[in-house]
């Protein structure tokens, strides 16, 4: 039977390999094949490997529609993100898709384009596709709440990076600790006055980063409250904000940017005005994107565990789906500061 099926596949025949042929090739029952390929944990791992090897060699593909009808499950997870062009998201999406594939699940990816109305429509559309769970990184910390709450009433939901609804589980990075690492490093470099460039705090992580900055610099530089420039996350805004900083008086010892794009724009403006980085002004970014190492000097930036973030999100959501829980668990990960030339004003010690 195995040889006949293999011949049909090699000849490019349109006939479909059946689960019975996989069972015969592996020397097991069709029920065992079904359990092994569906990820049931009670099946012996060696048996699972044998079944999967037979299925792959025969070119067997499960009938997902029939399986969904039997289980009342599509084995599909939705993911809604605010902006796929943001350098933060590609690595996260790749990790999510890879982990889902490992679990035998499919991904429906939706880009809201930073529009809460589009975001709400996408969530409703995903319901039409009968998703088993939803991962969402919200556009707005307030306006996105209805969409997140609606989703959580229908399927297991996990918020990624942005926590918009406190009672809905969340996988993200400790933004306050990350900002604390930045300010601690700049203080160690002798910086005593600070300015901040970032987006307006509609996005939860933007609010967390700004609040953490304000809390940590207030004791040493109360005037930093007057050197806060909030706009968006673009290179253009970073450039404009740095120009405003220089126009408002002598530059501070350090400019802290909420993302690498703004930091790159600020670096360009400082260079245009003949301000040396880090000699005159120390400069930091956030997210440690490719931009951080594509400029001179290279940017000190916060590296977030993006792959771990995506993988943990899937593991928590998959567990909730598999155990038929209402919601997964929340997870908070730690970031690390990558120190480069844009902020190193003093020789390293030790």
- Give 213 or 46, the one with higher predicted confidence: 213
Nearest by Cα to 148 from 113, 115, 116: 116
Place of tokens 């490093």: 185
pLDDT tens-digit readout, 335-344 = 999 999 999 8
- Cα–Cα dist 267/108, whole Å: 38
At 14 the pLDDT is 39
Q: Does domain 175-304 have CATH number 3.30.479.30?
A: no
Helix (H, G, I), strand (E, B) or coil at 171: strand
pLDDT tens-digit readout, 173-212 = 999 999 999 999 999 999 999 999 999 988 888 899 999 9
Angle (CA) 244-250-252 rounded to 5° is 85
pLDDT tens-digit readout, 219-257 = 999 999 999 999 998 999 999 999 999 999 899 999 999
- Cα–Cα dist 329/320, whole Å: 8
**Matching fold, domains 72-172+306-333 and 175-304:** yes
313 with 171: CB under 8 angstroms? yes
Domain ranges of the chain: 2-62, 72-172+306-333, 175-304
Burial class of 325 by CB neighbour count within 10 A (0 to 12, 13 to 18, 19+):
exposed
- Topology of domain 2-62, per CATH? 434 Repressor (Amino-terminal Domain) (1.10.260)
The CATH H-level (homologous superfamily) assignment of domain 72-172+306-333 is Response regulator (3.40.50.2300)
8 with 17: CB under 8 angstroms? yes
Helix (H, G, I), strand (E, B) or coil at 159: strand
């Amino acid at each position: 039977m195995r040889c006949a099926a293999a011949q049909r596949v090699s000849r490019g025949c349109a006939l479909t390999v059946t689960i019975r042929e996989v069972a015969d090739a592996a020397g097991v029952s069709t029920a065992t094949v079904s359990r092994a390929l569906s990820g049931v944990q009670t099946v012996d791992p060696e048996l699972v490997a044998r079944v999967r090897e037979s299925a792959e060699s025969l070119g067997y593909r499960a009938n997902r529609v029939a399986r969904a009808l039997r289980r009342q499950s599509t084995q599909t997870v939705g993911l809604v993100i605010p902006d796929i062009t943001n350098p933060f998201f590609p690595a996260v999406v790749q990790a999510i898709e890879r982990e889902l594939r490992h679990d035998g699940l499919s991904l429906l990816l939706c880009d809201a384009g930073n529009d809460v109305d589009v975001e709400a429509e996408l969530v409703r559309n995903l319901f039409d596709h009968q998703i088993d769970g939803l991962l969402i990184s919200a556009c707005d910390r307030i306006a996105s709440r209805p969409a997140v709450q609606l989703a959580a009433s229908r399927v297991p939901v996990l918020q990624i990076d942005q926590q918009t609804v406190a009672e809905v589980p969340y996988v993200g990075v400790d933004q306050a600790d990350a900002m604390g690492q930045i300010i601690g490093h700049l203080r160690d470099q002798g910086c005593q006055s600070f300015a901040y460039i970032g987006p307006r705090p509609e996005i939860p992580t933007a609010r967390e980063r700004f609040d953490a900055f304000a809390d940590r610099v207030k004791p040493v530089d109360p005037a930093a409250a007057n050197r806060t420039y909030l706009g968006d996350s673009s290179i253009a805004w970073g450039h404009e904000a740095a120009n405003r900083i220089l126009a408002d008086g002598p530059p501070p010892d350090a400019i802290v940017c909420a993302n690498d794009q703004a930091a790159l724009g600020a670096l360009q403006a400082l260079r245009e005005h003949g301000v040396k980085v880090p000699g005159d002004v120390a400069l930091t970014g956030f997210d440690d994107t490719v931009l951080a190492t594509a400029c001179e000097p290279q940017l000190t930036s916060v590296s977030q565990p993006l792959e771990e973030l995506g993988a943990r999100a899937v593991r928590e959501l998959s567990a909730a789906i598999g155990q038929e829980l209402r919601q997964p668990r929340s997870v908070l990960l730690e970031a690390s500061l990558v120190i480069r030339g844009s902020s190193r004003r003093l020789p390293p010690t030790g």
